Amino acid sequence: MRSKSVPARADGSVTKRILIVDDLPQMRKLIRDYLEEEKEFRVCGEAIDGFDAIDKAQNLKPDLIILDASMPRMTGIEAAPKLKKLLPETPIISFTFHESMMQGFASGEVGVDAVVTKDRGMFPLKESVKALLQRRHLSVRQNEDGQNAKR
């Protein structure tokens, strides 16, 4: 259950809240600007490293987290399993220049649901965001339907 209420849009759909985690302010702005071109997405917060991401995720309860793999203090690879433990239903996308950092780790082992490399541009990121949020929405609906059937 979400502690922060998210207002429904005029068409009745709910805006999906996204947390962006990257140490580069220009990259956070680029991601924010690109995603918020879609009315269905709203960036609910930004974090500069893994420690900041854990704190913000705990308070903001985003629908999805975009996480850079390489950051100072705590990397995305170190933060992802902690974030997944904190918010197990929240998809995490590793958006990184360093795809090689993710090799040798099964994405699920580190808590990441998808890996998108920055050199491919923003379109694959947006497509991954849409796909993971759709999958999460269907999973939540199935869980709610199952709970309603038990009542």
Higher pLDDT, 2 or 8: 8
pLDDT of residue 139: 56
Is 151 a residue whose pLDDT tops 80? Answer: no
pLDDT of residue 2: 41
CB-side neighbour CA atoms (13 Å) of 94: 32
Q: Among 7, 31, 23, which Cα is nearest to 128's? A: 31
Give the domains, in start order, of the chain with CATH numbers: 16-150 (3.40.50.2300)
Q: Among 69, 71, 121, 120, which Cα is nearest to 96's? A: 69
Both tokens of 78, joined, read: 């170190």
Both tokens of 80, joined, read: 């992802």
pLDDT of residue 70: 86
Encode pLDDT of 79-124 as tens digits. 999 999 999 999 999 988 766 655 544 555 677 888 888 888 899 9
- How long is the chain? 151
Q: Among 109, 31, 100, 13, which Cα is nearest to 67's? A: 31
Tell me how far apart the alpha carbons of residues 132 and 136 are, in angstroms, rounded to a whole number: 6
Higher pLDDT, 64 or 144: 64
pLDDT of residue 44: 96
Tell me how far apart the alpha carbons of residues 46 and 108 are, in angstroms, rounded to a whole number: 23
Is 73 a residue whose pLDDT tops 60? Answer: yes
Q: What is the pTM (predicted TM-score) of this model?
A: 0.80
Tell me how far apart the alpha carbons of residues 100 and 146 are, in angstroms, rounded to a whole number: 40
Average pLDDT of the residues in 24-50: 95
Average pLDDT of the residues in 140-149: 49
Q: For residues 18 and 46, is the Cβ–Cβ distance under 8 A?
A: no
Average pLDDT of the residues in 19-43: 95
Q: For residues 23 and 49, is the Cβ–Cβ distance under 8 A?
A: yes
Q: Which residue has the tokens 């099964």?
A: 106
Collapse the DSSP code of 98 into the 3-class scheme (helix H, G, I; strand E, B; otherwise coil) and give the result: coil
pLDDT of residue 103: 54
Q: Are strands 64-67 and 16-21 parallel, antiparallel or unpaired?
A: parallel
